[in-house]
Amino acid sequence: MERRRCEIAAVLLCLSVLLCAFTRLPVFAAAADTPEEQLEDSWFDDAIFIGDSIAGTLQAYAEQHSQLGAALFFCRTNYSITSAVNGSMLLYYRGGGYMPNTLLPQTGAKKVFFLLGMNDVGSYDDGRYASLWSALVDGIRENAPEVRIFFQSVTPMAKSLPNNALTNARIDRYNELLRAYCDENDCCYVDVAGSFKDDDGTLRAELCRDGYVHLILDAGALWCAALKDPANYSRDLSGEWGAGEDRQGEDLQAYYDGLAAEAELEDMVKLSAATVYNAYGIAPEDYTQGIAAICGDSVRVDEIWLFEAADEEAALRILAAAQARIEARSEEMKDYLPDQYEITRHAVAVREGRYVSLFIIPGSEEQAGIFSRTVS
């Protein structure tokens, strides 16, 4: 009887091998669907996720199912790239309200994942998107240069509503531009949208809870799997990248650092691109590189601007803003602090081609002349 069992087992084994050979499948074909190396949940321990209401689905699923390690989530309804840059909506952490660039140093995170754009798609032209991404990235690198920046693709919509600016074609175009931006600016693009698409490129019906753009909770399982798959990342995660060493703008940064040290300027605070836009009206798309720094001591007028404008017209706009700034500071100090008023009387705003500088410091005229000669 035992011999008979062995013979039957041998026959069955031969049949299974033949079947695999004819179908050209390995014996353990089911395992081939799972990539060999997935990111562990602990890889996300030092990450934060910033996004809109759609990203809230990922947050809810991850917290309910203990996914993505100790990652922190900051998701707000209607949050967008625009609000992340201009500060119209803040992110709250331990009692304080922050923009992304000021939030990151508070958390100690080393990675930041954005899912933003659904509330921007269809509102701007291609160039405006790039300027908004740059303002966001520049602000982070000014405040947290060690942080690696990840942009997740915007997820698809179930259908395009009549007369609605938001369409899947525009979402795809946005993602295409976003990936190109990441490739050129030392960020990492993460394709999560592909996990949710049907054959026609729309959001899979069984994953949509409102017939529009929002996901059911269980869609978070696909999302977590996409984030853990290195194949969805545009960069080698083990490589050296993320600090933006080759980004345009380092020449003005180096010039400013040298000037601040030589002139012994103390307590100077460099402003984010968002603050420059809100305070002075200088839009991010008006310059390719720029630094604006003010003194942290409110009773001192020390201030320096160094900008390379995007074109001649933008240079004139920045120059006008600089001249208005000098007039405003002079008026503020006129009957308040005589010594600081005297500094404003000798302040200088100069344009040299596409370069614009503002100096409200002791020796402004000399410093403006040196800068103009340097960039001319």
CATH of 41-232, one of 3.40.190.10, 3.40.50.1110, 1.20.1250.20, 3.90.105.20: 3.40.50.1110
Q: Which helix (H) or strand (E) holds 60?
A: helix 53-64
Tell me what pLDDT residue 243 has: 58
Bridge-based pairing state of the strands 188-190 and 268-270: unpaired
Higher pLDDT, 251 or 193: 193
pLDDT digits (tens, 9 = 90+) for 236-289: 888 666 755 444 444 788 788 888 777 777 788 989 988 899 999 999 989 989
- pTM for the whole structure: 0.59
Tell which residue, 260, 261, 294, 289, has the closest CA to residue 275: 294
- Predicted confidence (pLDDT) at residue 40 exceeds the cutoff of 80: yes
Please tell me whether residue 74 adopts helix, strand or coil conformation: strand
* 367 pLDDT tier (thresholds 50, 70, 90): confident
CATH 3.40.50.1110 domain locations along the chain: 41-232
Predicted confidence (pLDDT) per residue in 300-320, tens digit:
899 999 999 988 899 999 999
pLDDT at 261: 77
Report whether pLDDT(23) > 70: no
> Strand 72-75's sheet: what is its strand order?
72-75, 47-51, 111-115, 148-152, 188-190
> In the chain, at which residue ranges do the beta strands (DSSP E only) sit?
47-51, 72-75, 91-93, 96-98, 111-115, 148-152, 188-190, 268-270, 287-295, 303-309, 348-352, 355-360
